[in-house]
Chains A and B, each alone.
Chain A
């Protein structure tokens, strides 16, 4: 089936540093979503991207929809301790007769040292 490769798997950074993570696929998606998950909780939507080349910001977060529609990246600037968590990318795919569904990356676990 379709797969998303998300990297890096984990990151250990100092507070104040910038962070970058990305997702790549062999398949084309028409929507890319980025979620954050705190331990023991459900993922929360951070940014949604709908058009190839689109660059969208949400506070200190910036994400881009790759021009080939097969990749996306997420940047976090000036990280703070509350950025700790697991970040997931997800690509939306539409099937002919069964509606749409999301394909998720494996997640990037972010740790921030004060």
Chain B
């Protein structure tokens, strides 16, 4: 079954704890992206990776970290330095033949208590 998997769907954490969100894809896409979505706002780019072992900061990278050790995986860590971590997090991928089209996973809703 091809696609993008994000787990878990819902995540609860206590304030001050780091938490890692998973994103896995079997589409063989080179580029992967992490977005944050808050009510009433569009998607904002956190980090992206065009190729394994390389990634760039997006518009709101502060308080987040990523790694890209495998083509299939692009985990996002929300650190305790992120002041407002409660949000809906979306992972997306883009292939070389996708003509700038990005495809999204189902998302993870993170709630920090």
Measured CB to CB, the residues of A under 8 A from B are: 1, 4, 6, 9, 30-31, 33, 35, 40-45, 48, 50, 88, 90, 92, 98-102, 104-107
How many A-B pairs have beta carbons closer than 8 Å: the answer is: 68
Q: Is the interface of B mostly helix, strand, loop or mixed?
A: strand
Chain B contacts with A in 1-47, Cβ cutoff 8 A: 4, 6, 31, 33, 35, 40-45
Q: Is the CB of B45 within 8 A of A101?
A: yes
Complex Cα distance A100/B56, Å?
A: 11
CB pair A106 B101 closer than 8 Å: no
Q: Please state if A92 and B100 are interface contacts (CB–CB under 8 Å).
A: yes
B106 within 8 A of A: yes
Q: Which residues of B contact A98 (CB under 8 A)?
A: 50, 56
Are A88 and B59 within 8 A (Cβ)? no
B101 is contacted by which of A45, A99, A101, A105 (Cβ under 8 Å)? A45
Residue contact A105 to B104, C-beta cutoff 8 Å: no
B31-73: CB near A (< 8 Å → 1, else 0) gives: 1010100001111110010100000101100000000000000
Complex CA gap A77/B37 in Å reads 28
**Are B90's CB and A42's CB within 8 A?**
yes
Residue in chain B with minimal CB distance to A30: B100
Residues of B within 8 A of A101 (CB): 33, 45, 48, 58
Are B43 and A104 in touch, CB under 8 angstroms?
yes
Which residue of chain B is the closest to A106 with respect to CB atoms? B42
Complex interface: chain B residues within 8 A of A50 (CB): 99-100
**What separation, in Å, do the CA atoms of A45 and B98 have in the docked complex?**
12
